[in-house]
């Protein structure tokens, strides 16, 4: 399963989040500590998303993060107050293309998925039927993560709040594909919405920043997000609520 993180706060380099700390996302790509549901390495691509003057920017590759010679210089030179990043462990039978790698993007929304959907794509046909045909044709790639983001994006366009959009998609997917692993990350550069659903998730908060990550990194203290929880945060606020029973 993949590893991912999101950060909001004072502008920092991408390297200070993704590469430099002990057990950083860079290290988690080949030495994760809490991979549930199979897999021991995240070598099927990586992606970074950040914001410049309020506009989202994305860099994705379909190679292991440690093989990209451009990555260290890139990550050390870019600063942002809103970052999302992921390393991918692709599911067997799904394409290993650059377009299959998180973060996925629509407008200023950036999205990552850590997990899998049992029986995909057959198990999610009824959910896919909710989407306009044009949206299905525009999917980045025929992978479960891209479909999840399309479902979330469709709700956002309908005016549903980000928290309710993410929570409703998780509940509906679990109903048609029981046993799904659905750790989702969504940000627009101002807020983070995340779920912990049968996968590890940690959060670190300071007076002016919040970081959400599949696994803790660096020397700071992290709090575990309980399973089946919804996290909503800005740089200065944090709310974690149980998802079961949330309507």
Contact 142, 95 (CB under 8 A): yes
Retrieve residue 245's tokens: 């029973």
- Annotated catalytic residue: which of 2, 110, 127, 225? 2
CA distance 102 to 59: 9
Q: 193 has which bridge partners?
A: 186, 232
Going from the C-alpha of 102 to that of each of 49, 79, 110, 215, the distances in angstroms are 9, 20, 8, 17
Let me know if 2 is a catalytic residue: yes
CA distance 140 to 113: 14
Nearest to 101 by CA among 143, 151, 39: 143
Measured from the Cβ of residue 94, the count of other Cβ atoms closer than 10 Å reads: 18
Angle between helix axes 162-176 and 144-157 (nearest 10 degrees) is: 140
Helix residue ranges, H only, 21-161: 25-28, 71-77, 125-128, 133-137, 144-157
Retrieve residue 171's tokens: 């509940």
3-state helix, strand, coil in the chain (%, to 5): 25, 30, 45
Contact 179, 41 (CB under 8 A): no
Task: List active site positions.
Answer: 2
């Amino acid at each position: 399963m993949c590893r991912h993180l999101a950060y909001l706060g004072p502008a920092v380099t991408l390297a200070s989040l993704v590469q430099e700390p002990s057990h950083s996302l860079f290290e988690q790509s080949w030495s994760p500590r809490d991979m549930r549901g199979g897999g021991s390495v995240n070598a099927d691509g990586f992606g970074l998303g950040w914001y410049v003057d309020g506009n989202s920017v994305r860099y994705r590759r379909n190679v292991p993060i440690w093989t990209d010679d451009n990555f260290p210089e890139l990550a050390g030179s870019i600063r942002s107050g809103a970052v999302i990043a992921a390393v991918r462990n692709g599911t067997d039978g799904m394409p290993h293309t650059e377009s299959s790698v998180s973060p996925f993007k629509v407008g200023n929304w950036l999205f990552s998925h850590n997990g899998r959907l049992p029986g995909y794509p057959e198990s999610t046909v009824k959910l896919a039927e909710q989407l306009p045909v044009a949206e299905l044709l525009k999917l980045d790639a025929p992978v479960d993560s891209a479909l999840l983001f399309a479902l979330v994006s469709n709700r956002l366009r309908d005016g549903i709040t980000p928290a309710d959009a993410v929570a409703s998609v998780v509940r509906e997917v679990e109903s048609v594909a029981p046993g799904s692993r659905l750790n989702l990350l969504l940000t627009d550069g101002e807020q983070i919405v995340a779920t912990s659903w049968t996968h590890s998730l940690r959060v670190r908060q300071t007076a002016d920043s919040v970081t959400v990550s599949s696994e803790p990194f660096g020397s700071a203290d992290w709090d575990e997000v309980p399973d089946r929880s919804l996290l909503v945060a800005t740089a200065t606020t944090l709310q974690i609520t149980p998802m079961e029973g949330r309507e």
